[in-house]
Structure formats: C-alpha cells, structure tokens
Amino acid sequence: MTIRTILAAGILATTPALGFAQDVEGDAEAGEKVFRKCMACHAVGEGAKNKVGPVLTGIVGAPVAANEDFKYSDVLAEMGAEGKEWTPEELAAFLEKPRDYAKGTKMAFAGLRKEEERMNVIAYLASTGE
C-alpha cells in the first residue's frame, strides 16, 4: 500500500459525508431546490441551528440521531444506539415514507414519492458535509 493510498483512506474515514458525495447519484443543484420543502423544519450549512427537525449538514454517512443538541423520537434514538448510519440507501428509504421506515418518528412530512427527487436531495445533503 502506498502512502498516497493510506492518506486517502484516512481522509475519507474522517470525512464520511465527503466520501459519500462521490458515491451519491443525483443532481445536488436540483436537490437544493427540492430541499426547500424541508426548510420549514430543517437547516443546513455553517451556523445552521436546529428547528422542529435537526440540522442536516453532514447527515450523509453520519450515525442516525447523532446531533446531541436535538431530541429525537425514541425510534430514531434506538436506531442510532444500534449503530445504524444514514447511508444514501437508508436516507432514500426514510425520505420515501418516513413514518413507514421509522414507526413512531416525529417527522410529519409524508415523504418524497419520486425517486429522482430523493436522489437529488441526498446529493445536495452530501454536498453540505462538514
């Protein structure tokens, strides 16, 4: 293994959202527009603060319920305690039908029915990684 490979692996290991940003299929610019539906409850970016829902900056690749300053529903807190992570696939399943994916979630949003919208918003969220 070369030093370059070791360094690259180290960088990706410490920045999971950036690692996923390359793996996510979707249009981040289009996803930013879709994310407007989410902005009543969520925020992203530097200085973002929790609202009704948690800040989503760096969510792609992060553990479920990892924001220590937010009170999650019991079901999401349990998923986080079990080590579940917000991979692009898990986020897609959650965003399609949040209440079916996590029965008991406090998230009132019905979901994004169109796969393209889900992929685009996940690409956008991946682009916001810290």
- CATH number corresponding to 16-127: 1.10.760.10
- The closest of 102, 119, 104 to 60, measured between CA atoms, is 119
> 72-91: per-residue pLDDT in tens?
999 999 999 999 999 999 99
CA–CA gap between residue 107 and residue 111 (Å, rounded): 10
C-alpha to C-alpha distance for 33 and 85, rounded to whole angstroms = 25
Structural tokens at position 90: 């898990």
Domain spans, the chain: 16-127
* C-beta of residue 66 within 8 angstroms of C-beta of residue 80: yes
**How many Å from the N-terminal Cα to the C-terminal Cα in the chain?**
28
pLDDT (0 to 100) of residue 18: 43
3-state SS, residue 63: strand
The pLDDT of 51-58, averaged and rounded, is 97
Whole-prediction pTM: 0.81
